[in-house]
Amino acid sequence: MALSQTEAQPQPSPWALCVAPMIDVTDRYCRYFHRLLAPNARLYTEMITTGALEYGDVARHLRFDVSEHPVALQLGGSERDALVKSAKLGEKWGYDEINLNCGCPSDRVLKGAFGACLMNQPLLVADCLKAMQDAVGVPVTVKHRLGLDYNDSYDFVRDFVGIQYNVGVRVFIVHARNAVLKGLSPKENRDVPPLRYDMAAQLKKDFPEATFVLNGGINTAEESTAHLHTFDGVMIGRAAWHTPAVLGQMHDRIWPAVTRLSEGAVLHAMHAYLQAELKTGTRPRQITKAMLGWAHGKKGARQWRRHLSDPDQMARHDAAVLLEAWELLQQAALISDSTPPAIRS
């Protein structure tokens, strides 16, 4: 008997392609754009602290467009009751997942005693995650590093994961570097500590029933495909910001049968979105900044970036700025195509 396509080719994990939570980057405007590029990718909010939800404008932090599904809320915090309350809010607002940040190494999280430093308190993390799981019906997941400072021991991360696994956590997003809490900036923590994919892979071997998503240093569609032979998913960060087109390329490899929007269709969808958002008081720059790298590698990319970041153009508060930048890009491509090749000596 011939196998069906579903039986012959296992479906990708719901976490097969994720866009990392990035502070000051993955706001709802950026996520809307990323959804147009990758229909099945899992999108994450910026890290939102429990304090921001308790004392701040909840709607401003949690509002999102229905098209963003599947979308996950990442929380920053270390107090169980506050995390439970925030998780409930996330579920109420319709998020598909609640993720706890145990990987951010910035000064901000150190002062708040959460983020990467929580890896030193695995029992506290487990208590918080268990309480959150008991409070909501959506998956509660954790994002963490391999270790802290210069401790390269596999036992450290294995024990951290094992303690969370024992309270029911089944999805782990592993940034395959250590977090150096003193001496490196957040930017340096993204590049300086060495990547140790082999250690992350060992976690998958030791906890085969859990879902492991690899984060760190994944910049191309080819790399994403290679890692999916070992891990259940990949999470890309700065690549989705600096070269957004790669998000669509990765999507094509993971879900080849899913038709994505053409570049022109994405452009016009973003133009309509910008028009609608301008009526609510949104500043154009809040939306166009996510699109600056979309033309990376194309003729006219500089003109595209310049037009969409020009203060005078932004001050017009006119959605036409997006169509104008697109026209500049198309003109540059036509000029390039019509230029005869240089005569070789």
* Catalytic machinery residues: 104
- DSSP letters along 17-38, please? EEE---TTTSSHHHHHHHHHH-
Distances (CA, A) of 204 to 20, 148, 291: 20, 20, 35
Tokens of 102: 């145990």
Sequence-separated (6 or more) residues with CB below 8 Å from residue 66: 94
- How far apart CA 228 and CA 17 sit, in angstroms, is 10
Q: Which residues contact 38 (CB under 8 A, 6 or more apart)?
A: 17, 19, 247, 248, 250, 251, 260
Cβ proximity of 178 and 152 under 8 Å: yes
Backbone conformation region of residue 240, classed left if phi is above 0, alpha if psi is from -120 to 50, else beta: alpha
Question: How many Å apart are CA 180 and CA 105, to the nearest integer?
Answer: 7
